Amino acid sequence: MANVPTPHISAQLGDFAETVLMPGDPLRSKFIAENFLEDAVLVNNVRGVQGYTGTYKGKRVSVMASGMGMPAIGIYAHELFNFYDVKNIIRVGTAGGLTTDVKVRDVVMGQAAVTNSNWAAQYGTGDVKIPAIASFDLLKKAEAAAKEIGVEPNIGLIFSSDVFYDGNTDYDKLRDLGVMATEMESAALYMEATRAGKNALCICTISDHLVTGEVTTPEERQNTFTTMMKIALETAIAE
């Protein structure tokens, strides 16, 4: 039985480029395709999770949404890495600021993710913990791309949580460990990339702040966080 199409992706083999940008929001996927890609073609719309493939500066790039949370991105990352020959996934999402060193609208890159998820239990390593780390090659390229357009990215630890309305996590202790932002997808993405022998990176924009209380609107999150999109696209085509 062929692996593609999958229960979650209707695309055929070859429909995706080697690098896929992965926002959480399907409308952000559509926004990137319409505003940055040339000749973008819709290759997936199962459950409204829009995926497109086009070209950026003459090079083939795809973008597809992941939905919210580690179970969702874990499914799509696993299928893209293992069934569609995708080599790189770059998450372009939003995150909550945890320290005053990062501000709303700042770009953060997750060098590694700490997590309260039990995601790694499926790997059967028992007490041995699986680190959720980004691809060093993608991270280097993304940092260079950011600096090229005049952005100094915040690079370091992020917290991937299974819970949005979280009443248990001690954020002060996370801050003491140097964790700069919180989101809900990257740990699973990084571990799926490690298991598949592929590459992953999380580039996020700070959309709200747990210290200052600042927030952005859904429309702003969907349509105006273009700096991280440009950095991800430049990373996707970097040699």
Express each pLDDT in 20-58 by its tens digit: 999 999 999 999 999 999 999 999 999 989 999 999 999
Q: Does residue 7 sit within a domain?
A: no
Interval 210-222 mean pLDDT: 87
pTM of the predicted structure, to 2 decimals: 0.95
State the average pLDDT for the chain: 94
Q: Does residue 146 sit within a domain?
A: yes
Q: Does residue 208 sit within a domain?
A: yes
Place of tokens 């600021």: 97
Interval 59-82 mean pLDDT: 96
Can you say whether the dihedral through the CA atoms of 234, 235, 237, 238 is positive or negative? positive
Distance CA 34, CA 189 (A): 25
Q: How confident is the model at residue 224 (pLDDT cuts 50, 70, 90)?
A: confident
Distance CA 174, CA 182 (A): 10
Longest dimension (CA), the chain: 53
Q: Which of 103, 114, 93 is nearest to 204 (CA)?
A: 93
In the structure encoding, which two tokens stand for residue 234, read together?
């430049």
Interval 201-219 mean pLDDT: 93
Place of tokens 């915040």: 154
pLDDT at residue 105, rounded to an integer: 94
Top-confidence residue, 182 or 124: 182
Q: Does residue 11 sit within a domain?
A: no
CATH code of the domain covering residue 43: 3.40.50.1580
- Cα 96 to chain centroid distance, Å, stands at 14
Helical packing angle, 226-237 and 26-36, nearest 10°: 70
Q: Does residue 12 sit within a domain?
A: no
**Residue 208 is a catalytic residue:** yes
* Domain span holding position 54: 19-237
| Confidence check: pLDDT of 1 > 60 | no
Q: How confident is the model at residue 239 (pLDDT cuts 50, 70, 90)?
A: confident
Q: Does residue 9 sit within a domain?
A: no
pLDDT at residue 219, rounded to an integer: 83
CA dihedral of residues 164, 90, 71, 170 (deg, nearest 10): -30
In the structure encoding, which two tokens stand for residue 102, read together?
């990062």
| Confidence check: pLDDT of 64 > 60 | yes
Interval 152-164 mean pLDDT: 95
Per cent of the chain over pLDDT 70 is 99
What domain count does the chain have? Answer: 1
Catalytic residue among 25, 85, 170, 208: 208
Q: Does residue 126 sit within a domain?
A: yes
Distance CA 68, CA 114 (A): 17
Q: Does residue 66 sit within a domain?
A: yes
The amino acid occupying position 170 is: D
pLDDT tens figures, 162-173:
998 888 889 999
Interval 69-92 mean pLDDT: 96
Interval 209-228 mean pLDDT: 88
Distance CA 130, CA 143 (A): 25
* Collapsed DSSP state (helix, strand, coil) of residue 165: coil
Top-confidence residue, 186 or 6: 186
